[in-house]
């Protein structure tokens, strides 16, 4: 029954995102690539080159394959700077799974609340299939304990206990082992 409500909500979201078209063409990338290019150029207009490795909240080279990916990443980026709060679910403070829950809720997808439940709920994908908006799960002490959103170019957006919501290079996040990759 819950899946029916999610499908209805997702249909409404698609209709409002793409207009009142009776056909949604997911395979027609010609017009979408123009939109992506415009979006990327608007996003990069006022940014300077990254010279400081600490400036990880900006990712200029992300290429979106769909509007859904763009919306997911825009929503995730809107949370950057939010402080970490265990069990938190709003912009006053959020934990890792609260972040992913809210980001996906913004496109009408309801995820379970904890990282471990999200891991079980999502479809396993391989590293070669990993794409913008997919979830990256980490294991610590034998259980899934952390989740982040893949943001392209080997980076993720996640809620770090020490820094709150940040964009971080996957190579620099070595405190936990990757458990797997998931797609809702």
pTM value > 0.85: no
Q: Which tokens is 159 given?
A: 């809620």
Catalytic residue among 98, 138, 147, 158: 158
pLDDT at 176: 72
Q: Which of the following is catalytic: 68, 73, 96, 151?
A: 96
Other residues' Cβ atoms within 10 Å of the Cβ of residue 79: 21
Report the pLDDT value the prediction gives residue 128, as an integer from 0 to 100: 96
Which DSSP string do the residues of 60-82 spell out, in sequence order?
A: TT---SSHHHHHHHHHHHHTTTP
The set of residues, in sequence order, having a beta carbon less than 8 Å from that of 49 and lying 6+ positions away, is none
Contact indicator for 136, 143 with CB cutoff of 8 Å? no
Low-confidence ranges of the chain (pLDDT < 70): 1-61, 174-175
3 is catalytic: no
pLDDT at 60: 54
**Helix, coil or strand: residue 36:** helix
pLDDT score for 75: 97
Q: Can you tell me the distance from the alpha carbon of 66 to that of 72, in angstroms, rounded to the nearest whole number?
A: 10
CATH architecture assignment, domain 64-184: Alpha-Beta Complex (3.90)
Q: Token pair for residue 89?
A: 């679910």
Q: What are phi and psi of 6, to 5 degrees?
A: -65, -45
Segment 21-26 long-range contacts (CB within 8 Å, at least 24 positions apart): 26/66
pLDDT digit string, tens, across residues 95-128? 999 999 999 999 999 999 999 999 999 999 999 9
Residue 43, both tokens: 């996003």
Active-site hit among 59, 122, 144, 146:
146
């Amino acid at each position: 029954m819950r899946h029916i409500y999610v499908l209805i909500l997702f249909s409404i979201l698609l209709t409002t995102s793409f207009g009142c078209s009776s056909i949604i063409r997911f395979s027609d990338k010609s017009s979408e690539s123009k939109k992506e290019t415009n979006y990327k150029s608007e996003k990069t207009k006022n940014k300077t080159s990254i010279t400081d490795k600490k400036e990880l909240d900006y990712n200029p080279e992300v290429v979106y394959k769909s509007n859904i990916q763009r919306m997911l990443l825009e929503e995730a980026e809107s949370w950057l700077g939010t402080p970490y709060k265990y069990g938190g679910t709003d912009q006053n403070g959020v934990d890792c799974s609260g972040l992913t829950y809210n980001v996906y809720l913004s496109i009408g997808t309801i995820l379970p609340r904890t990282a471990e439940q999200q891991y079980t709920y999502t479809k396993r994908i391989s590293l070669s299939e990993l794409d913008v908006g997919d979830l990256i799960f980490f294991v610590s002490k034998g259980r899934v304990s952390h989740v982040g959103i893949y943001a392209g170019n080997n980076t993720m957006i996640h809620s770090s206990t020490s820094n709150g919501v940040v964009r971080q290079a996957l190579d620099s996040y070595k405190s936990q082992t990757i458990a797997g990759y998931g797609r809702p």
